[in-house]
Structures are given as C-alpha cells and as structure tokens.
Amino acid sequence: MGIQQSKIDKISEDFAKSSTFIPGIRPGEQTETYLLNVVLRLSFFSAGYLIILGALQFIQQMFGMPAPISFGGTTIMILVSTAIETVQQIQARYKSQELARKRRMIKELKEVYGEEENLIW
C-alpha cells in the first residue's frame, strides 16, 4: 500500500489546507483512516470483479458454449469501455449542439433588440 498510502496522506493534507471536510469525519488522522478504508473497499470489489471476468470464459465453456463464441473478460471490458466512451461522445455532441443553438438565439436576439442591456434573462 506504499503508493496508495502516500496518495491518501496527500489527499488528507490537501483537505486540511483547503478547509474541505467529509461530513461526520474529523480532519486529520480520522480522514486519512476513512479514505484508506474507502480505497480498500474499492480495491476489494474491483479485484472480485476482475476475478469474475477472468473466470467467465471458463464458466461459459463448462456450460457448453463453444470457445470462439464465449466472451472473455478482456472482451467484455473492451465492450463496456467502448459503450461508455460512445455514450460520452454522444452527450458531448448534444451539449455542443445545444450551446450552438443558444449562441444563435442570443445573436438573433441581439440583432432584434440591439443592446445587450435590454435583454432580460
């Protein structure tokens, strides 16, 4: 936990410097312990998820699915990350179009009403 521990120490110090706190947790040692527990829980569940993904192909083959058809853990991770990236790109495209539409609307309103001070939002 050397690298993780040093990062948690740094995060705890940054919280103290910026007067940030976690509700119900005292600054300092208690914050550091809380963050370490969160990292350990996340690591535990991540390790379990990776074990399931690694064993998935073998389980599929045990139930009679041919090897070329069954999905391995790497394939599933690639599919999920690609799907997430695609959704994020669609959302970014939508936001970009929405901003362009608002800019056009503001430009049209400025042309109609002239000065910006006359516009009430």
pLDDT, tens only, 13-69? 888 888 887 888 888 888 888 888 888 888 888 888 878 877 877 787 788 877 666
Of 93 and 21, more confident: 93
* Buried/exposed code over 87-105 (b: 16+ C-beta within 10 A; e: otherwise): eeeeeeeeeeeeeeeeeee
- Asked if residue 94 and residue 121 are part of one domain, the reply reads yes
- Asked if residue 84 and residue 59 are part of one domain, the reply reads no
Among 65, 88, 112, the domain-final residue is 65
- Asked if residue 101 and residue 115 are part of one domain, the reply reads yes
**pLDDT at residue 121 in the model:** 57
pLDDT exceeds cutoff 60 at 77? yes
- Asked if residue 36 and residue 19 are part of one domain, the reply reads yes
User: How far apart, in whole angstroms, are the C-alpha atoms of residue 73 and residue 117?
Assistant: 59
The tally of domains found in the chain comes to 2
User: How far apart, in whole angstroms, are the C-alpha atoms of residue 68 and residue 65?
Assistant: 9
| Residue 66: both structure tokens together | 């041919």
- Asked if residue 45 and residue 10 are part of one domain, the reply reads yes
pLDDT exceeds cutoff 50 at 1? no
- How buried is residue 73: exposed, middle or buried, by Cβ count under 10 Å (0-12/13-18/19+)? middle
- Asked if residue 51 and residue 6 are part of one domain, the reply reads yes
Amino acid at 77: M
Domain that holds residue 17: 1-65
